[in-house]
C-alpha cells in the first residue's frame, strides 16, 4: 500500500517535471532551488516586496513571489541542528569556527594582538547520578559486557530503578554556568589583589562556550576563557594576568560553584525531609584546564587554537538528540513521546523533566519547555560580547561577497538584503516545508530574510 502510493507520488512528480521542462520552466526552477544550497527545509514566503530609494522615492525593484519560478520565495531555514538541516548546520559550524578562531588568533574585526593574551580551554563536567554502562579502557563494563562504540546501552543506567533521574534533570537545568563566571571574576580579582568592583578598570574577561551532551544525557561545558585589557581585545592585559593565574582561578571557581534546589514536593513527607531542605548541585570533580597555544603541539599538553575552534564548532551544531537519542524539537504533549523511537533512558529523562515541570518550586526552570533538551535551557553555544566578531557580521560579509559575485537578475530574484539608503516595503508571509517545525517556525521572518540567505560554505 505504502509502496504503491510512493510509486504513484513519484509518477506524478515526473509528469509535473516533464510539463515544466516542456514549458521551459525547469531551468529557472532548478536555479532558484539550487540557490538554497541544499537546505533541507526551506522557508517559503509568499507576497510582494518593493525597494524604494528613500531619498527620491524611486522604485528600485519590485518582487512578487507569484512571478518566481517556484511561485514563492525560498529562503534557507538557518537551523543549526545537524539533525534538522545538514546544509544550514554546516554553515553555522563554519561560522562558529571562524568566530572562535578570530577570538584566539585575531582576524575579522579582532586585532591579532589578541593571540598574546592569556587564555585557557576548560572543560567542566557533570557529576554522576548512578552507575551507567561504559567502556572502561581495556577492561569490561561492570555488567560484564564489552560495549562497542555504537552500543545503545552506553551511558544508560545499570539499574534504571535506582538511577537519580530527578537529580540528573535538575543538574542540567540550574544556572551553574552563570554562577561559575561570578566566582571566576571573584577568584581573578582576589589573585590580582583587587576587588571585584575595581577589576573591570584593569581587565575584562571574555569567553566562548559550548554545551556537549554526554550519552547519559548530562551536559559538559567546553569553554575558552581569555583575559583582555580594560576595554576588551584591543587593549593590553595587565602584567599580573598570566595563563597560570587564569588556570588556578578557573579550577578554584569551578570547585566553589554550587546551586541550590528545593527538593521535589513528592519526596518531602515520605523521606522525612523538611520542606525547606534543599539539594546542592555542583560540577563533577573532573575539571580539565589547558593552555591554548598558537602552534601545533602533540600529546596531552597545551591544545592549539585550530583544535579548540574545531572542537567548539563541532558541538555547536549538536543538540541532545545526537548523542543521547532524544528529540530535536519541543514537546507539546507528553503523549507525543509514544510516536518517537527513543531509548528508555532518554524517555525517562524527558518524562522526569515533564513531571518536575508541574511542581511549583521548579516553575522558574520551565522544565516542560525544555524537556526535549533534558532540562538544559538556552543556547548550547554562547559567547560574551568582547570575545570575537559576531555571526551577524560574518553573515553580512558573506552576503556582500555573494552580491559581488552574483549577476543582478539572480540577486533580484532571491531578494538581497536592503542597505541603509533603501527603504523596504514588504508584505511577505512565511510558510515552511516542515509542518512540524516547532517553536522556531516563522520566527522573526524579517530577520531571517535579511540574514540567512547564505551559500553553503
43 lies in the site for Zn ion, by CB under 5 A:
no
Q: Residue 253, interface with Zn ion (CB under 5 A)?
A: no
Q: Is 430 an interacting residue with respect to Zn ion (CB under 5 A)?
A: no
Nearer to Zn ion among residue 10 and residue 146 (C-beta): 146
Nearest approach in angstroms of CB 151 to Zn ion is: 8
31, 69 contact by CB (below 8 A): yes
- Which of the stretches 68-76, 114-122, 213-221, 395-403 binds Zn ion when contact is defined by CB under 5 A? 68-76
Q: Taking CB under 5 A as the rule, does residue 327 contact Zn ion?
A: no
Candidate list 77, 176, 227, 350; residue touching Zn ion; CB under 5 A: 77
Instruction: Centre a 10 Å sphere on the Cβ of residue 373 and count the other Cβ atoms it contains.
Output: 28
Question: Taking CB under 5 A as the criterion, which residues in 82-111 touch Zn ion?
Answer: 85, 88
Which run of H or of E encompasses 456? none
Does 39 contact Zn ion by CB under 5 A? yes
Supply the DSSP symbol for 16: H
Q: Which of residues 211-230 bind Zn ion (CB under 5 A)?
A: none
**3-class state of residue 209 by DSSP:** strand
Sequence-distant (6+) residues with CB within 8 A of 395 are: 95, 451, 452, 454
Q: Least distance from C-beta 31 to Zn ion, angstroms?
A: 18
Torsion (CA) 98, 100, 104, 108 in degrees, nearest 10: 40
- ∠ CA 286-287-293, nearest 5°, is 140
Q: How do 287-293 and 303-304 pair as beta strands?
A: parallel
154 binds Zn ion (CB under 5 A): no
Figure out which of the listed residues 43, 75, 124, 141 binds Zn ion, where binding follows CB under 5 A: 141
Closest to Zn ion by CB, 147 or 185: 147
Binder among 13, 143, 178, 275 for Zn ion (CB under 5 A)? 143
Q: Say whether 70 sits in a helix, a strand or coil.
A: coil
Contact 262, 278 (CB under 8 A): yes
- Using the contact rule CB under 5 A, the part of the chain among 135-143, 159-167, 195-203, 388-396 near Zn ion is 135-143
> 357 near 349, Cβ under 8 Å?
no
Q: Is 168 an interacting residue with respect to Zn ion (CB under 5 A)?
A: no
Nearer to Zn ion, 85 or 104 (CB): 85
Judged by the rule CB under 5 A, the positions of this chain that interact with Zn ion are 39, 76-77, 85, 88, 133, 141, 143, 145
Amino acid at each position: 500500500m505504502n509502496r504503491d502510493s510512493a510509486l504513484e507520488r513519484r509518477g506524478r512528480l515526473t509528469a509535473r517535471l516533464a510539463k515544466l521542462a516542456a514549458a521551459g520552466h525547469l531551468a529557472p526552477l532548478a536555479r532558484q532551488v539550487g540557490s538554497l544550497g541544499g537546505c533541507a527545509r526551506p522557508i517559503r514566503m509568499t507576497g510582494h516586496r518593493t525597494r524604494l530609494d528613500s531619498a527620491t522615492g524611486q522604485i528600485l525593484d519590485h518582487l512578487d513571489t507569484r512571478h518566481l519560478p517556484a511561485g514563492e520565495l525560498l529562503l534557507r531555514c538557518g537551523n543549526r541542528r545537524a539533525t534538522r538541516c545538514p546544509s544550514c548546520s554546516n554553515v553555522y559550524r563554519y561560522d562558529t569556527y571562524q568566530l572562535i578562531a578570530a577570538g584566539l588568533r585575531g582576524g575579522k574585526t579582532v586585532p591579532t594582538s589578541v593571540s598574546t593574551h592569556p587564555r585557557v580551554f576548560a572543560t567542566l563536567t557533570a557529576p554522576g547520578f548512578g552507575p551507567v554502562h561504559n567502556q572502561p579502557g581495556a577492561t569490561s563494563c561492570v555488567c560484564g559486557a564489552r560495549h562497542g562504540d555504537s552500543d545503545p546501552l552506553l551511558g544508560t543506567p545499570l539499574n534504571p530503578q535506582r538511577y537519580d533521574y530527578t537529580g540528573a534533570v535538575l543538574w542540567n537545568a540550574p544556572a551553574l554556568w552563570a554562577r561559575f563566571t561570578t566566582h571566576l571574576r571573584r577568584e581573578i580579582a582576589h589573585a590580582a589583589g583587587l576587588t571585584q568592583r575595581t577589576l573591570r578598570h584593569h581587565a575584562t574577561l571574555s569567553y566562548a562556550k559550548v554545551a556537549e551532551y554526554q550519552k547519559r544525557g548530562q551536559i559538559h561545558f567546553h569553554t575558552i576563557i581569555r583575559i583582555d585589557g580594560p576595554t576588551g581585545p584591543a587593549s593590553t592585559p595587565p602584567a599580573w594576568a598570566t595563563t597560570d593565574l587564569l588556570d588556578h582561578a578557573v579550577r578554584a571557581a569551578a570547585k566553589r560553584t554550587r546551586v541550590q534546589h528545593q527538593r521535589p514536593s513528592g519526596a518531602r513527607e515520605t523521606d522525612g525531609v523538611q520542606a525547606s531542605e534543599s539539594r546542592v548541585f555542583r560540577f563533577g570533580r573532573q575539571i580539565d584546564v589547558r593552555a591554548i597555544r598558537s602552534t601545533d603541539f602533540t600529546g596531552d599538553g597545551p591544545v592549539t587554537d585550530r583544535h579548540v575552534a574545531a572542537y567548539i564548532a563541532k558541538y555547536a551544531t549538536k543538540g541532545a538528540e545526537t548523542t543521547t537519542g532524544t528529540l530535536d524539537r519541543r514537546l507539546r504533549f507528553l503523549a507525543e513521546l509514544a510516536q518517537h523511537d527513543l531509548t528508555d533512558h532518554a524517555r525517562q529523562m524527558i518524562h522526569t523533566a515533564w513531571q518536575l515541570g508541574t511542581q511549583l518550586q521548579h516553575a522558574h526552570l520551565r522544565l516542560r519547555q525544555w524537556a526535549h533538551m533534558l532540562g538544559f535551557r538556552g543556547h548550547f553555544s554562547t559567547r560574551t560580547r568582547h570575545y570575537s566578531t559576531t555571526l551577524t557580521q560574518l553573515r553580512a560579509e558573506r552576503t556582500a561577497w555573494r552580491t559581488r559575485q552574483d549577476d543582478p537578475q539572480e540577486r533580484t530574484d532571491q531578494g538581497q538584503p536592503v542597505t541603509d539608503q533603501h527603504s523596504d516595503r514588504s508584505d511577505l508571509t512565511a510558510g515552511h516545508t516542515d509542518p512540524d517545525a516547532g517553536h522556531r517556525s516563522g520566527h522573526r521572518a524579517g530577520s531571517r530574510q535579511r540574514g540567512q540567505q547564505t551559500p553553503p560554505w
